Amino acid sequence: DTAVSQTPKYLVTQMGNDKSIKCEQNLGHDTMYWYKQDSKKFLKIMFSYNNKELIINETVPNRFSPKSPDKAHLNLHINSLELGDSAVYFCASSPLDREGQYFGPGTRLTVT
Amino acid sequence: GDSVTQMEGPVTLSEEAFLTINCTYTATGYPSLFWYVQYPGEGLQLLLKATKADDKGSNKGFEATYRKETTSFHLEKGSVQVSDSAVYFCALRTPGAGSYQLTFGKGTKLSVIP
């Protein structure tokens, strides 16, 4: 009965590789997000999808591309990985009101 | 734009001490306010929220009151436990068409020692 799930939990890969992180929510929420958390715990929003439409696209490199096959899923594809991409990536979802966001457990990406 | 300012950490307290983590905000309109907690190695969990002025959010012994006049949402707990050791994030969300983004503070790390 996990609300927001992400896979994988850990991802270790080499520079230049392409990888994907999957996210699914079973809360029936309309909006999903991707955040990046750096080593100092600072959270930065990357993308947001509302009913499969991109509504926020912060200034992230175009090597990052979100894909939402349906309202319950928002996957993150990363091409040509770089050392600076190493971080924890969190998926989240929220309803369309004044409620907060519900976060997944995170994916720790390490690029070597 | 919207912003959230939290007190700098880390904060170290002895068990059963009183906790206050300050949070102030700048926002247009009337935001909803949140506190999130991140335990080591885990994702963020919604701790409490308040959606309008003078609302008090509470959960697990933690409380925060939405103060519009001082634009603050300070987190308090009367008696902390070792299990409260975590990073705490204050956040706001300004409702409105096309505005679904949460704005987070930088987080405050709390360590509680026995």
Tens of pLDDT, residue by residue over B64-107, are 999 999 999 999 999 999 999 999 999 998 766 555 678 899 99
- Closest residue by Cα to residue A93 from A58, A55, A49: A49
State both tokens at A98.
Answer: 């004044």
Contact at CB, A104 and B106, closer than 8 angstroms:
no
CA distance A38 to A47: 16
CA distance B100 to A49: 10
Give the pLDDT score at A30.
85
Give the pLDDT score at B96.
63
For the stretch B9-47, pLDDT in tens is: 899 999 999 999 999 999 887 889 999 999 988 889 999
CB proximity under 8 Å: A 41-60 to B = 41-43, 45, 48, 50, 55-56
Contact at CB, A42 and B106, closer than 8 angstroms:
yes
A89 interfacial to chain B (CB closer than 8 Å): no
Question: What's the mean pLDDT when you consider all of chain A?
Answer: 90
**Length of chain A as a residue count:** 112
Bigger pLDDT: A49 or B47?
B47
Q: Does residue A51 surpass a pLDDT of 90?
A: no
Highest mean pLDDT of the ranges A19-28, A33-42, A60-69, A93-102? A19-28
What pairing do the DSSP bridges indicate for beta strands B102-104 and B86-93?
antiparallel
**Chain A residue at shortest CA distance from B10:** A40
